[in-house]
Amino acid sequence: MTLSELPLHASAQVEGVQDLHANDAIARRLRELGFVSGEDVCVVAQGPLGGEPLLVQVGFTRFALRRSEAARVRIARAVAA
């Protein structure tokens, strides 16, 4: 599953970021921002009519991402206790 598919307010953990080509600057920047394996992530809000941007929280920091950028982040849904 990818971050762009995560329902609003659902929790997940980052599994990794997909590189689309060698030396992928966007994938590298996502990792630098904290989208690394094991980090908690949540979609906090989204644009009008479910559009862009997505307001995403990773750890304690929030970022606005395009859906195409969020689609690069592989996640695993959190299991409810």
The string of pLDDT tens digits covering residues 34-80 is: 999 999 999 999 998 878 899 999 989 999 999 999 999 999 987 65
Q: Beta-strand (E) ranges in 1-81?
A: 11-17, 40-46, 54-58, 61-65, 73-77
Give all domains of the chain, ordered by start, each with its CATH number. Answer: 3-77 (2.30.30.90)
Which one-letter DSSP state was computed for residue 68? H
- 81 pLDDT higher than 70: no
Are 40 and 13 contacting, i.e. CB atoms less than 8 angstroms apart?
yes
Say yes or no to pLDDT of 20 above 70.
Answer: yes
Q: What SS3 state is found at 74? A: strand
| The residue type at 56 | V
Residues with Cβ within 8 Å of residue 24, at least 6 apart in sequence: none
The whole-number pLDDT of residue 80 equals 59
Task: Supply the pLDDT for residue 65.
Answer: 95
